[in-house]
Structure 1
């Protein structure tokens, strides 16, 4: 079976596909990834070896800026209508036709697309093959999915195609994070979430925290890890006697960008936090000795923390982070803050109140009982025959 994975060219969209890509190889199937050429380094370092990269379409900054030019909307504080234009309009316009000859040549049997990706489903319709959708975290509200679908529908009409529903919705979200009013848009297939790890051995080995000191991991993800935001978090935690590990983040840049090297040396604070900065590192390498995670509410971070039974403090910065943070807070595994100054009190609460960790541990057990990627991929292939 030839399985084509299709995703928005960003870490938070492509890394959740990695376990399924790995499962495809383990099952003796061919795996290809359709996404922008700008993520070549991600594919070689963060995904299983042997993925066929089908490069097509622009990077997020380019198609977001083009959406702003087309609509006049603020794409950094998008409404559902703007999200629809970004993913169902501009990115689809700029990617689908360029991808078509590559995909026809690769000859997939099925397509597996991330929840924001509209390119893979359109190409599946053109090739008349089944497709499946992968959720990234809590299911997207109907107001957002409806706008993406509505805008994309015109692109199908222009090409004489008829949209087809996904054969399944692969859902990594444990029940605690699921909105009670949300229903799966397609037949649901639960999957066991995993903290991201690189293929092969771990590349970073952290010493255990000093005796008696809890370890706090600060990770604002790959998009919102600007130095001033990280500094604000460190300042808020500085007075606590904790072992503080801060990930500096890593964005996928457009081809002409040159990201600055912002790596900083460890800082010891007498009577307070001992601070250590580390470069972008897969979360699986950092969570083993971690007691509390401070993050922005990205789905990958929240799910990874829950896999390890770790409570969180969440400071949403954009995208769908407020949705995920709200669900984690309602479920009793996190506290959400609106500004960095609130982190100090929130950290004291999590250090003093075991209920957050107890609930997170319970959720970790629920996640561990879900089907793994190989089992889910087998179900996907079975549903596609």
Structure 2
């Protein structure tokens, strides 16, 4: 079968699809990813070599700039209306026709689109193909989903087609973190998640700490909000807790910022979360879905300081599930880290989420279900 995956051109939207793409490749299916050309280095490092990149969509920075111009809002700290513009109207203006052309040439049998992608569903409607939606965290609040749906409707009307509901929703979010009021209108297929790994080991050598008896805290701001000043402030605050701090530079920063504090801080470049979590007791992060879900799949609790995008939602759900403490500033993280390290219930609850996750179907089992139902 020919499976076309479609995603917004950003790490946090593409990497959650990687396990499903790998499983599809392993099962002998032809796999392509519809996104922007600018993510080719990411694809080369993070995805199976057999995944064909259809890089015809707009680059993330161009997409964000156009959405900001059209909405007059801040895409990094958006209102529901701005979210509708970013992922709905602007996305289809820039990418719908190029995406359809590329997809028509590649000729898929099935489309799999991540939660915020609206190009894949449009292609599915116009090519009369079945499609599935993949969650990349807690389900979208109804107000946000409604704004995206509202903003794309004129595009469907102009194309002379009607939106086609997904055949199923692949839910990667642990039940403990899902909104208890969320009700899906389509069938839900739970999926086991894991910390991101590469098809081939990266070979990164993690630094050694002077006193390995101290707890090791992984600190990451993800791939979008890794500003040097923010990272330096957060590292200094966490180091005040007298722990070993393993901090990632993300995909933008090249030099380590200067930090203070009692603890020892070591920096590493962007690397698969699976490799970074080795011997880690606690994770301090901004709250991106990949970091939160990957960390919890290993039974490790978190301290979260949300920076923007969907991070406040993820942080709120993680706190409600009892697997994370939430800080409102860099200074607050020091006390939160000290509390989290001593909170046995926090660690027990994180371990339970990991155990529950292991009971879910694997990506390979999900791919088998999708392809069997689409023949």
TM over 0.5: yes
Equivalence for 1:255: none
Aligned residue in 2 for 1:357: 347
Correspondence for 2:286 among 281, 296, 318:
296
Task: Tell me the alpha carbon deviations over residues 157-190 of structure 1, each in whole angstroms, 9 at most, x when there is no partner.
Answer: 1111111000010001111101111122421010
Alignment partners' CA distance in 1, 2:70 and 2:201: 46
Post-superposition shift, 1:380? 1.1
Q: Which shifted more, 297-306 or 208-217?
A: 208-217
1:262 aligns with 2:255: yes
Q: What do residues 231-279 of structure 1 show as CA deviations (whole Å, max 9, x unaligned)?
A: 111111222221110001115xxxxxxxx632469x896xx21110000
The CA distance in 2 between the partners of 1:83 and 1:221, in whole Å, is 20
Q: How does 1:62-211 map to 2 (within 5 A)?
A: 62-206=62-206, 210-211=211-212
Question: Of the candidates 312, 318, 323, which is equivalent to residue 313 of structure 2?
Answer: 323
Report the CA distance between 1:16 and its aligned residue.
Answer: 0.5
Q: C-alpha offsets along residues 321-369 of structure 1, whole Å, 9 cap, x if unaligned?
A: 0001001111111100111110111011112221111110111101111
- Report how many residues are paired: 374
Give the alignment's Cα RMSD to 1 decimal: 1.5
| Distance in 1 between residues matched to 2:265 and 2:73, nearest whole Å | 40
Q: Which runs of 5+ in 2 are unaligned?
A: none
How far does the alpha carbon of each residue in 1:124-162 deviate from its partner, in whole angstroms, 9 at most, with x for none? 111111000000011110111111111111101111111
Note if 1:305 corresponds to 2:295.
yes
| 3-state SS in 1 of match to 2:113 | strand
Distance of aligned partners of 1:45 and 1:279 in 2 relative to their CA distance in 1, 3 Å threshold: same
Moved more, 3-12 or 239-248: 239-248
SS in structure 2 of the partner of residue 240 of structure 1: coil
- Residues of 2 paired with 1:281 and 1:193: CA distance? 18
Task: Return the alpha-carbon distance in structure 1 between the equivalents of residues 345 and 206 of structure 2.
Answer: 27
Structure 1, unaligned runs of 5 or more: 252-259
User: What secondary structure does 2:57 align onto?
Assistant: coil
Corresponding residue of 1:236: 237
Q: What is the 5 A alignment of 1:10-49?
A: 10-49=10-49
Contact 1:245 1:275 in 2 (8 A): yes
Whether contact under 8 Å (1:219, 1:295) holds in the other structure is: yes
With normalisation by structure 2, the TM-score equals 0.96
Q: Distance in 2 between matches of 1:364 and 1:99?
A: 37
Question: CA deviation digits over 1:261-305, x for unaligned, max 9?
Answer: 32469x896xx2111000001100011210000000111000011
Runs of 4+ more than 3 Å apart: 207-211
Q: Provide the TM-score with structure 1 as the length reference.
A: 0.94
1:383 positional shift: 2.4
Give 3-state SS (helix, strand or coil) of 1:56's partner: strand
1:337 aligns with 2:338: no
- Paired with 2:9 and 2:195, the residues of 1 have a C-alpha distance of 19
Q: Does 1:280 align with 2:270?
A: yes
Q: Distance in 1 between matches of 2:98 and 2:344?
A: 53
Q: Which residue does 1:6 correspond to in 2?
A: 6
Secondary structure at the aligned position of 1:212 is classed as: coil
Contact 1:167–1:384, Cα closer than 8 Å, also in 2: no
Q: Select between 361-370 and 67-76 the one with higher mean Cα deviation.
A: 67-76
